[in-house]
A and B are shown apart, each in its own frame.
Chain A
């Protein structure tokens, strides 16, 4: 029996692939990374939250571990990447966010340059280098320090190796595609959906190519689906280990989908996805890279839909920006190096790709995804504190208030965004919890004096409906006392349960 992958026959009619030594691309990556590090960048809300999680993990705080696993808004993969560079920077110095984004972007650009260069499309490679700073949304994305850039690395790697596999039919390339896509299970809901559809489309194409049967290519489905299903299973297992609830993360994300609409506008202008979809659709018909185009096509629908849901229901965009960057450059690259046998299809592809670039230059806008300010100085200042904290009481104000009478009290913060506003990795005055459990709170209240800060019920920090915090905000609890209502309806509650050992009452049966 022959392995299906030993055939090196190239199906595509185009210029032969130029063999370049790997060290050439490692050098390219290093040069790009060093250049990118020099350019710095602008922090964003996602960075603040991920950094809070990282700080908490490094301080050994439980909240950090909980937020690492159970929070789909700020998914596992970018947090782990940021954690790693934080550790590196503690030893060697440097800005972790800049380092992470620089490495991620350098890898991504090296992939695209290699993709085009080795197919003798030197001009296309040069064009991509020029395109990135020209197109506003690409430029904005590039200079936004978002740890989710790391999530785009496996996505782009999958595209690169899928293109290679289509040409060379090397089993190793197929494996790298499968493993790269599998890693997207840790990159947020948008990435998970893209991964599922990517593999599903690939598997289906494989089956159709072989006359609707898997007979001669048994095992390929296992190879394709294995890493993705394993990563999902592992994530569920970690949820079980951390929260004793295998579906905690899913339930938490679903829980925050409330009926009330939060933002009337999309996080970014999705007009860009229309010409991208058209370009990929044309490429899907009969081009030399139709498999890759078909696998990428669902992304054109998934990203805007997930972005819509994210904006409407207060869930973070979780890497949609970098994924869009990868999708855009993939589309442009393939459009200009794929071979199309029919002339009219070729022309249509070029026109669609050109329209995509024009739309990207004129209409795409990522400002709302990242809350990018017009004034870079103000943005720097705002980014040191997440913009959503603009209406939150200052940390010192809170502490000054409670320290008047309860200097030993700590303030409970619930969720993933709130701890980012009041970073306290060692939980000296602010104790973070990923979710609120009344039983746990009461048990802790018996050991120490506690306060709890509850943000306004606008869906940004907790679901508006079916949420304990929303109910407390509205109705309170018998064991909580409303200490103060801050501007914009932020509430500070105090636990009325006396810590054990504090009571002076003599409890003796002989007493009446």
Chain B
């Protein structure tokens, strides 16, 4: 099939924007590098000159940051709870195509690498998709040199709508690169991306088609909710389930209410294919290409809505692999933040004050708090146990009040929202997991530091999500 658009060739001289938009080819740009060095040098000099005032000011700034993050979180949770924001459709509405015409053409893409063992289950699951087969194309994106998966795929003797799409071996060897290759040709109205182990609800495509028809044209993306089909496997999966329930059940709908930039989840994103091609597809260098794409769509004036439909996937039950996966997400968030702040003034002009603030709190604040949390937890623990003297000097009344609010109220809100999200998601038996969420946050911070350090050592390394045999 001939290409409709070229989404893989680098056609610009600018190393930061090889395909005409900011990408994660390089982590920091020139001015960011200078700014970071100036910051580090400044902190060292200040520490030598007057470390007490330095710690005081840093503490003040961080406390204000924590307070803003907590209040922002409370706002989006409150908005999510006030009124359901997700696009909901009834079975009666799904019985007929949107607008009474034909069902729109849908392309499903599934990037995979060494997924030979689960491919048969995947094909079986996708065969159950409730969508007219003649209006559907399911592309299995298999790397050229992945003989294992290719062999299994060929042995399944797949018939339409399944299509095997070999991905030529080229740099970078990433999932978003494969996805870009897949959408360079083909004719469809909408596209959805799934992961290899995903189990979407059978009527999800119909729901998304109706949702697109119902929404204004500037809604270019519809995000379905993600959940896990193994929530009770162990303590980690329970916490992970609560985490996902909070993000997809409360945070995303809240962001939708605020019409904020929405960082996409890596799967079950439904797009208007023409818009996806127009914005250049995914950033093949970014390890959280989904987050970046969500922000680029927003910057381009497009919007994302949330669909009341779920895709079930496997929660990583192994702590080591979970940390690897999470570290990639954090690394990707940092990459995304750095990319979008390269044109700092331009960002604020494009987004406006309120959306810029949300961007900083949501993307920047997310990884930043994960990195600094351990220091504050340790400080709190030391203070509670040993009551060292002199600490009071760094916590005068206003800082103490803000800090106490974040410690006692903020942490409770975060843990309580995990419980609320579980109930709202129909996993109420996991509500009590909110009590041990602080330990889960500690694991997130460990993963965050791993991701942060890997940003310097191996910025484009993709920690592939490992799939475990299901019991």
Contact = CB atoms under 8 A, between A and B. Distances in A.
Contacts of A171: 81, 420, 423-424
B426 A3 contact: yes
Contacts of B425: 1, 3
Given A5-B424, A241-B384, A219 B430 contact: yes
A218 B431 CA distance: 8
A219 B416 contact: no
A314 interface: no
B82 A223 contact: no
Interface residues of A, number: 21
Contacts of B428: 4, 217-220, 222
A500 interface: no
Contacts of A227: 412, 416
B422 A219 contact: yes
Contacts of A220: 423, 428, 431
A137 B83 CA distance: 40
B253 to A, nearest CB: 12
Contact of B419 (A4, A170, A223): A223
Contacts of B84: 6
Contacts of A4: 423, 428
B434 interface: yes
A172 B82 contact: yes
A314 to B, nearest CB: 31
A1 B408 contact: no
A223 B434 CA distance: 10
B277 interface: no
Given A172-B81, A227-B416, A234-B408, A1 B427 contact: yes
A218 B428 CA distance: 5
Nearest to A238: B408
Nearest to B419: A222
B309 to A, nearest CB: 14
B429 interface: yes
Contacts of A241: 384
A218 B433 CA distance: 12
Contacts of B430: 219
Interface string A3-17: 111100000000000
B432 interface: yes
Contacts of A226: 416, 419, 434
A32 interface: no
A227 B81 CA distance: 17
Contacts of B424: 3, 5, 171
A223 B420 CA distance: 7
Interface in A148-188: 170-172, 175
A218 B232 CA distance: 14
Contacts of A503: none
A241 to B, nearest CB: 7
Given A175-B420, A222-B432, A234-B408, A1 B81 contact: no
Contact of B423 (A3, A170, A230, A234): A3
Nearest to A172: B81
A232 to B, nearest CB: 12
Interface string A224-236: 0011001000100
B434 A222 contact: yes
A2 interface: yes
B180 to A, nearest CB: 37
B427 A223 contact: no
Contacts of A1: 425-427
Interface string B382-426: 001000000000000000000000001000100010011011111
Nearest to B398: A87
Interface residues of B, number: 22
Interface in B271-314: none
Residue among A1, A219, A222, A230 with most chain B CB within 10 A? A219
Interface in A220-260: 220, 222-223, 226-227, 230, 234, 241
Contacts of B420: 171, 175, 223
Contacts of B412: 227, 230
Given A1-B426, A1-B427, A234-B408, A219 B419 contact: yes
A145 to B, nearest CB: 25
Contact of B426 (A2, A222, A230, A234): A2
Residue among B384, B412, B423, B426 with most chain A CB within 10 A? B423
B422 to A, nearest CB: 6
Interface in B229-280: none
Residue among A3, A170, A222 with most chain B CB within 10 A? A222
Nearest to A2: B426
Nearest to B407: A234
Contacts of A172: 78, 81-82
Nearest to B81: A172
B423 A219 contact: yes
A498 to B, nearest CB: 28
B425 to A, nearest CB: 7
A172 B74 CA distance: 13
B81 A223 contact: no
Contacts of B432: 219, 222
A222 B429 CA distance: 9
B423 A223 contact: yes
A398 B422 CA distance: 62
Nearest to B78: A172
Contacts of A234: 408
A171 B77 CA distance: 12
A383 B422 CA distance: 52
Contacts of A223: 419-420, 423, 431
A222 B421 CA distance: 12
B391 to A, nearest CB: 13
Nearest to B387: A241
A222 B427 contact: no
Contacts of A217: 428
Given A3-B425, A4-B423, A171-B423, A219 B431 contact: yes
A5 B425 CA distance: 10
A230 B415 CA distance: 11
Contacts of A3: 423-426
A217 B423 CA distance: 8
A53 to B, nearest CB: 15
Interface string B29-55: 000000000000000000000000000
Contacts of A230: 412, 416
Interface string A480-491: 000000000000
Nearest to B82: A172
A227 B412 CA distance: 8
A4 B431 CA distance: 14
Contacts of B81: 170-172, 175
Contacts of A218: 423, 428-429, 431
14 contacts: A3-B424, A4-B423, A5-B423, A170-B81, A171-B424, A172-B81, A175-B420, A218-B429, A218-B431, A219-B423, A222-B428, A223-B423, A223-B431, A227-B416
Given A3-B425, A175-B420, 11 more contacts: A6-B84, A172-B78, A172-B82, A175-B81, A219-B429, A220-B423, A222-B432, A226-B416, A227-B412, A230-B416, A234-B408
Interface of B: 78, 81-82, 84, 384, 408, 412, 416, 419-420, 422-432, 434
Interface of A: 1-6, 170-172, 175, 217-220, 222-223, 226-227, 230, 234, 241
Instruction: Kindly list the 9 A-B residue pairs having the minimum CB-CB distance in the complex, ordered from nearest.
Output: A219-B428, A1-B426, A219-B431, A218-B428, A172-B81, A219-B423, A222-B431, A218-B429, A3-B424
